[in-house]
Amino acid sequence: MFCPKCGTLGFPDAAGNISCTNYKCGYVGPVGGVKIGNKEVSLDELTSKTEAQGREYEVISDADQQQGILTTNTYMCPKCDSVEVYAYLEQTRSSDEPETRMLTCANVKCKHGWREY
């Protein structure tokens, strides 16, 4: 709760009274009302509610899309032994570590993806 005189954060006791922690203010007493704008509102009048809001989102699955640059005879797919592979670099760890090479097989039937560190 906040002090009704100076607005400093205070902690109520079991009876609902607060002792202001600001030594210059020194307020000791009931919490009183809460100011909302210029209007003072009683604590009994205050209500709160939690309402979940819906969010629209679209899941983008890029597994069917080939990413990176098509390379030939540089890498070999470990699954189908194809030598046509899409490759790109991505920083997956901290900046003082080397980037990770992301590889995807160009074979339409395979599309196997793997990483080289």
**Burial zone of 77 (CB within 10 Å; 0-12 exposed, 13-18 middle, 19+ buried):** buried
- Residues 6 or more apart whose CB falls under 8 angstroms from that of 94 comprise none
Q: Give me the domain span that covers residue 34.
A: 1-45
pLDDT at residue 43, as a whole number: 60
Residue 68 in tokens: 């990176």
- Band (pLDDT 50/70/90 cuts) for residue 42 is low
Residue 55 in tokens: 């969010």
Query: pLDDT digits over 45-103, tens only?
Result: 667 778 877 877 666 555 556 678 888 888 899 889 889 999 888 888 888 888 888 88
Answer whether residue 98 is part of any domain: yes
Answer whether residue 52 is part of any domain: no
Answer whether residue 55 is part of any domain: no
3 with 36, same domain?
yes
The total of structural domains in the chain comes to: 2
Q: What is the mean pLDDT of residues 101-109?
A: 87
Name the nearest CA neighbour of 17 among 43, 41, 40.
43
Answer whether residue 15 is part of any domain: yes
The number of beta carbons lying within 10 Å of the beta carbon of residue 71 is: 14
pLDDT at residue 60, as a whole number: 54
1 with 40, same domain?
yes
CATH of the domain at 79: 2.20.25.10
DSSP 12: B
Answer whether residue 62 is part of any domain: no
Say if CB 74 and CB 85 are below 8 A apart: yes
Q: What is the pTM of this model?
A: 0.43
